[in-house]
């Protein structure tokens, strides 16, 4: 009888540990930036992420950006298109990332091998918003900014 209780206790403990591990990563989902025509879709897990971002410019042009990376700090290429064609003036852009914790990822973006921007994604504790902060590391990329996306 004690073996059954011990087995039952072990199974309950395993279930309590396994369920959170199987839960979706808080970054995974579709995120909409309300004030701009920007939507980003993220698939993430403990090891890395895939991101696709769609932006409609004021003139109606459609920009698409995507990348897949591991949270290992290694640079990966960013694909950037304008109306479905390679972006005409885009420099060779790469991005790398490190996961700080379950709710924060930090990025470094480079153009032609030179760091131009540091950014981060932070998920709110309720999981309903994603705050993206951008900080230029050179004089060409503009002032710091913060954008808040809502989960769809």
Is 39 a member of any domain? yes
Domain that holds residue 86: 24-151
Is 10 a member of any domain? no
Helix or strand run (H / E) with residue 142: none
Give the pLDDT score at 12: 42
Domain containing residue 97: CATH number? 2.40.128.20
Give the pLDDT score at 28: 94
Q: DSSP E strands: which ranges in 61-113?
A: 62-70, 76-77, 79-82, 85-86, 93-101, 104-111
What is this structure's pTM? 0.79
Is 5 a member of any domain? no
Is 1 a member of any domain? no
Is 147 a member of any domain? yes
Structural Rg of the chain based on CA atoms: 20
Order of strands, sheet of 62-70, starting from the edge strand that comes earlier in the sequence: 76-77, 93-101, 104-111, 114-123, 129-136, 145-151, 29-33, 38-44, 48-56, 62-70, 79-82, 85-86
Give the pLDDT score at 135: 92
Give the pLDDT score at 2: 54
Backbone φ and ψ of 45, nearest 5°: -145, -170
CB atoms within 10 A of CB 149: 23
Please report, in tens digits, the pLDDT of each residue of the chain (152 residues total). 555 555 444 444 434 444 444 468 999 999 998 777 889 999 998 899 999 999 998 899 999 999 999 999 999 999 999 999 998 776 779 999 999 999 999 999 998 899 999 999 999 999 999 999 999 887 766 788 999 999 99
Count of domains forming the chain: 1
Give the pLDDT score at 18: 40
Tell me how far apart the alpha carbons of residues 49 and 101 are, in angstroms, rounded to a whole number. 14
Tell me how far apart the alpha carbons of residues 127 and 136 are, in angstroms, rounded to a whole number. 27
Is 67 a member of any domain? yes
Is 103 a member of any domain? yes
CA 120 → CA 69, 85, 124, 148, distances in Å? 15, 28, 13, 12
Is 107 a member of any domain? yes
């Amino acid at each position: 009888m004690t073996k059954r209780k011990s087995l039952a206790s072990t199974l309950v403990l395993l279930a309590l540990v396994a369920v959170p591990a199987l839960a979706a990563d808080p970054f995974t989902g579709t995120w909409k930036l309300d004030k701009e025509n920007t939507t980003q879709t993220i698939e993430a897990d403990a090891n890395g992420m895939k991101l696709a971002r769609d932006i409609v410019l004021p003139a109606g042009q459609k920009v698409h950006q995507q990348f897949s990376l591991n949270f290992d700090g290694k640079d990966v290429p960013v694909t950037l298109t304008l109306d479905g064609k390679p972006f005409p003036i885009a420099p060779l852009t790469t991005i790398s990332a490190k996961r700080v914790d379950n709710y924060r990822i930090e990025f470094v973006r480079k153009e032609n091998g030179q760091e131009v921007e540091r950014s981060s994604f932070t998920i709110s504790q309720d999981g309903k918003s994603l705050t993206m902060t951008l900080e230029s590391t050179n004089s060409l990329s503009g002032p710091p900014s913060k954008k808040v996306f809502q989960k769809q």
